[in-house]
Amino acid sequence: MSNVPRKPAVWEAIIPIIALVAFLSVTIIKFKGSPHIPLIFAAVVAALMAFKIGYKWQDIEKGIIDTISMSMQAIIILMIIGTVIGSWILSGTVPAMIYYGLKILSPGIFLVATCIICCIVSLATGSSWTTAGTVGIALLGVGQGLGIPLPIVAGAIISGAYFGDKMSPLSDTTNLAPAMAGSTLFDHVRHMIYTTGPSLLIALVLYGIIGVKYAGKSLDYEKINQILDTLSSNFSISLWLLIPPIVVIIMVVKKVPAIPGLLMGTILGAVFAAIFQHQSIGTIVNVLNDGYVSETGFEVVDNLLSRGGLQSMMYTVSLILCAMTFGGIMEKAGF
């Protein structure tokens, strides 16, 4: 082995990628497993190939650490976001956003309202999948009762859910993308408005035009009222609870860095949990760490609100570390 590493051949650079695809395919498709271990195995293959072209372990390790350091801001933000979600659910902020969102339903604007509601819920939770799988299912049932074609109802749900997830500071992917690109979270969100905003407006206009024909239909409120009653019976719902997200939005506009901005959101959520929901300090601390567990007895609401907490982000954090380990070796070795 020479003292100076040589430039890798194309086939040497491709081998770790082939290994990664193979390990991920077998683990995820065949065994329904998580991607963490396949990433580590692929990193081992990449390291062996790096040894082959002359790199020492100290160089490889430095490459791993340097790449992981690029994602540290996103990791810290993700951990804070876990506490934000937990505190906002415990305080009633997320339930209030869902509650008032469902209140705007009307047959004539059902498709537009559905898209907006899913936007609100997805922004509040940072998850498009959770929104579509909970509130989205309820809205799908209402749309079916109105006689609206289910594909267009599903389209409105998905449009709103994806918009909210894409624009939400609580979304893991929205945090990781700017971190790896060398940008900041709030700059990323602001600049996405230029493309995502017009897309949503176009969709809302089309949903409004399509929805006109259903204006005369009667709305079946049974499923919606069940969600509203469950939320109001388990939380003290008030417009004051919308203050935490409004404050965070103002801080985004004022270009306050993401970490202090989101920490302020966590603090406000904790304070509001004590004031409006009369939660003890011990409960608040536990929810900030472990997340909120909803026990209303209504599956849709329980699935929607059982989330958050710092520990809930550890799966994503560990996935980032595994991916950055593989990426760091690939970068350092010139693969």
Considering the domain boundaries, does residue 269 fall inside one? no
Same-domain pairing of 38 and 115: no
- CA–CA dist 12, 270 (Å, integer): 52
Percent of the chain topping pLDDT 90 = 55
Minimum mean pLDDT among 47-56, 62-71, 75-84, 137-146: which range?
Answer: 137-146
Contact 304, 125 (CB under 8 A): yes
Considering the domain boundaries, does residue 199 fall inside one? yes
Q: Specify the pTM.
A: 0.78
Residue 20: what pLDDT? 97
Q: 301-315 burial, b for 16+ CB within 10 Å, e for fewer?
A: beebbbbbbbebbee
1 — pLDDT class (breaks 50, 70, 90): very low
Same-domain pairing of 111 and 216: yes
Minimum mean pLDDT among 84-93, 162-171, 214-223, 247-256: which range?
Answer: 214-223
Same-domain pairing of 57 and 139: no
Helix (H) or strand (E) holding 256: none
Same-domain pairing of 113 and 38: no
Query: Which residue did the predictor score with more confidence, 253 or 50?
Result: 50
Q: Which domain holds residue 134?
A: 106-220
| Helices within the chain (DSSP H only) | 10-24, 36-52, 57-70, 72-91, 93-102, 110-125, 128-133, 135-146, 150-167, 172-181, 185-211, 222-234, 243-253, 258-276, 281-290, 299-305, 314-332
Considering the domain boundaries, does residue 301 fall inside one? no
Cβ atoms within 10 Å, residue 232:
13
Residue 141: what pLDDT? 65
Q: What is the DSSP letter of 242?
A: G
- CA–CA dist 164, 151 (Å, integer): 20
Minimum mean pLDDT among 5-19, 88-102, 173-187: which range?
Answer: 173-187
Show which of 169, 200, 220 is a domain's final residue.
Answer: 220
Same-domain pairing of 110 and 216: yes
Residue 220: what pLDDT? 63
Q: What is the rounded average pLDDT for all residues in the chain? A: 89
Show which of 220, 249, 274 is a domain's final residue.
Answer: 220
| Mean pLDDT for the stretch of residues 273-297 | 96
Considering the domain boundaries, does residue 203 fall inside one? yes
Considering the domain boundaries, does residue 27 fall inside one? yes
3-state secondary structure 284-310: HHHHHHHCECCCCCCHHHHHHHCECCH
Considering the domain boundaries, does residue 274 fall inside one? no
100 has a pLDDT exceeding 60: yes
Same-domain pairing of 210 and 110: yes
211-229 pLDDT per residue, tens: 888 877 666 677 778 888 9
Structure tokens, 312: 């809930």
Show which of 220, 245, 278 is a domain's final residue.
Answer: 220
- CA–CA dist 209, 307 (Å, integer): 36
127-158 pLDDT per residue, tens: 787 788 667 867 876 777 677 888 999 999 99
Rounded to the nearest 10 degrees, the angle between the axes of helix 110-125 and helix 93-102 is 170
Query: Which residue did the predictor score with more confidence, 101 or 21?
Result: 21
| Mean pLDDT for the stretch of residues 5-21 | 96
Considering the domain boundaries, does residue 279 fall inside one? no
Query: Which residue did the predictor score with more confidence, 74 or 234?
Result: 234
| Mean pLDDT for the stretch of residues 162-185 | 83
| Mean pLDDT for the stretch of residues 161-178 | 85
Cβ atoms within 10 Å, residue 225:
11
Same-domain pairing of 60 and 132: no
Total domain count, the chain: 2
Phi, psi of 142 (to 5 degrees): -65, -45
Considering the domain boundaries, does residue 287 fall inside one? no
Residue 128: what pLDDT? 82
Same-domain pairing of 207 and 143: yes
